[in-house]
Amino acid sequence: MSPADPFKPMLMKIEQVTEEAPDVKTLRLLFADEREGRDFAFRTGQFGEYSVFGEGECTFCIASPPTRPGYIECTFRKAGRVTSALAGLEPGETIGFRGPYGNVFPIEDWQKKNLLFIAGGIALPPMRSVIWNVLDLRGRYKEITIVYGARTVADLVYKRELAEWAQRPDVKLVTTVDPGGETPDWKGEIGFVPAVLDKIAPASRDTIAVVCGPPVMIKFTFPVLARLGFAPENIFTTLENRMKCGVGKCGRCNVGRHFVCKDGPVFTLAQLQEMPQEY
């Protein structure tokens, strides 16, 4: 947790910059202060506020799993002022980090269950943390299925890790691209994520579904899950809203009486159905 002043960031050194896709990068960050790094702990699902000093802060989930201490990672697309500044940084440079904020994926409750991860495009980052978390504790979970799609092959993020997951016998990975997004040597599925999900029709019994993606993908995925028999309490997603403080004070991230920064970003579909559709 950040020190007494909730707005003061910890200093982080960029150890590695990875280009995931056009305009999408991953930063691996080390704590400049060793003691802060040792004391730092987070749980999967949580996010932070990442600073470029002089430009501002940006909200990203922590994309690395808590099972791998010593560093944290974030993945972002260059879109606005702060992400453009982040995209221009090199290893060795310093940024700020405040966190961890928000609630968590209740992975302890998911033990002995099947896990179904569904993600689209730039929304794989929030799920990467929880996927690696459960894979690092593989024995506690039953079948693990990952369905991930992007517009085109080039837009798939974490290509190296997708290859790793595809090799693992204890993970079923299905990747897809939108029709027209395939390359001549593409071996995966072709179709929108909801359609591909419908096709593979994973069993819902004793299964937890985690869905992250652009609003349109989510909108069409929920009905597929309902048809497959998933109860709303067993479907998890993450909400994103414009954030500034991350600690429930600046007032801008609320969805009804819930702050995405405090009561989220992880919500079940059952919870979303009780909330105003204002997100």
Partner 1 sequence: MEALRSKARELLAGKTVQVVIGYGPGSGGGARAVFIREAAQADILVFDGTCQQNLAVYLMKPEVRKLGKAALVATPPALRTILQLAAENQLTDAALLVLAVSPSGNEVVPLATFAALEAHVAALDHGLGAADKAELETYAALSLERRRQFWEEQFSRCLKCYACRAACPLCYCTRCTVECNQPQWIPVPAHDLGNLEWNVMRAMHLAGRCVDCGDCSRACPVGIPLHLLNRKLIGAVFADFDFRSGMAAKADNAMSTFKPNDPEDFIR
Partner 2 sequence: METDTRSIDREALAQLFLQWQSGGKRIVAPKRINGKTDFARVASLDEVSLDRVQTVQSPKSAVFPRVEELFSFLSRDGKVEIRERDLAALPGTVLFGLRPCDAAAFASLAAIFTWDSPDSLFSARLANTVVVGVSCPRADEYCFCTSVGGGPGAVTGSDILLTETGSGVFLAEIVSEKGRQAVHGADGLFGPAAGMDKEGHLAKVEAAFAKERIGPALASLFDDAAFWEEQSRRCLGCGACAYVCPTCACFDIQDEGGASGKRLRCWDSCGFGLFTLHTSGHNPRPLQSQRWRQRLMHKFAYMPERQRVLGCVGCGRCSRACPVDMNILEHVRAIAEAKP
The reply to whether 273 sits near partner 1 by the rule CB under 8 A is: no
- Closest approach, Cβ 122 to partner 1, in A, equals 20
The reply to whether 180 sits near partner 2 by the rule CB under 8 A is: no
Euclidean distance between CA atoms 67 and 107, whole angstroms: 13
The reply to whether 53 sits near partner 2 by the rule CB under 8 A is: yes
Q: What is the DSSP string of 142-196?
A: S-EEEEEEESSSTT-S-HHHHHHHHH-TT-EEEEEE-TT---TT--SEES-HHHH
Stretch in the footprint of partner 1 (CB under 8 A) among 78-86, 112-120, 190-198, 200-208: 78-86
> By the 8 A CB rule, do 188 and 174 touch?
yes
- Selected from 20, 70, 93, 100, the binder of partner 2 by CB under 8 A is 93
- Closest approach, Cβ 279 to partner 1, in A, equals 21
The reply to whether 81 sits near partner 1 by the rule CB under 8 A is: yes
Euclidean distance between CA atoms 220 and 95, whole angstroms: 37
The reply to whether 245 sits near partner 2 by the rule CB under 8 A is: yes
Token pair 């909200």 in the structure block, residue: 59
> By the 8 A CB rule, do 41 and 66 touch?
yes
> By the 8 A CB rule, do 134 and 65 touch?
no
**Which residues would be at the binding site for partner 1 (CB under 8 A)?**
80-81, 84
**Which residues would be at the binding site for partner 2 (CB under 8 A)?**
1-2, 4-9, 11, 51, 53-57, 79-80, 83, 92-94, 96, 215, 240-242, 244-245, 247-257, 262, 276, 278-279
